[in-house]
Amino acid sequence: MLLIITLLAGIFLSEKAYAQDVVFSYFNLNSDGADVLLEWEVQEEANIERFELYRKFNDEGTFIAITTFTPNGTRQYQFLDDDIFKNLSRTIFYELHVVIKGKTDPVIVTNSLLHSPTSVQRTWGSIKAMF
């Protein structure tokens, strides 16, 4: 019994240490109805190899990769997702994968919001896509 508790404690501690490889100050999503602005900040970038951003809608099965960032020394990042203008009111899920140097599995944080563009914004988005 003691061996099982010790193994479980060891697994918990290693998972906790792994989760501390990245400390986020924030990971925010803001929508103006037509686009979504993603912003995040990390406390330390020294061990970060790259950030990978993924998106999926509530009626889709899998996430798709939309962009990648390499650390730039500022610890603050933003991405304007303007490739969603035609979509009707749906929930959008974003996953931010943080790839740590020397680790095989990324640290993953998820955030979502209900995206509800107006008909004018959807029409403007369609016109914008033609040019």
The H or E element spanning position 16 is helix 2-19
DSSP state of 87: -
Mean pLDDT taken over the chain: 77
Tell which residue, 26, 24, 86, has the closest CA to residue 57: 86
Q: For the whole model, what pTM was predicted? A: 0.71
pLDDT of residue 20: 56
Q: pLDDT by residue (tens digit) across 19-75?
A: 457 999 999 999 877 789 999 999 999 999 999 999 998 888 899 999 999 999 999
pLDDT of residue 15: 36
Longest dimension (CA), the chain: 68
Burial of 87 (0-12, 13-18, 19+ CB in 10 A): middle
pLDDT of residue 16: 34
How would residue 87 be classed by pLDDT, with cut points 50, 70 and 90? low
Tokens of 92: 């959008």
Distance CA 14, CA 80 (A): 35
Residue owning tokens 């995206």: 115
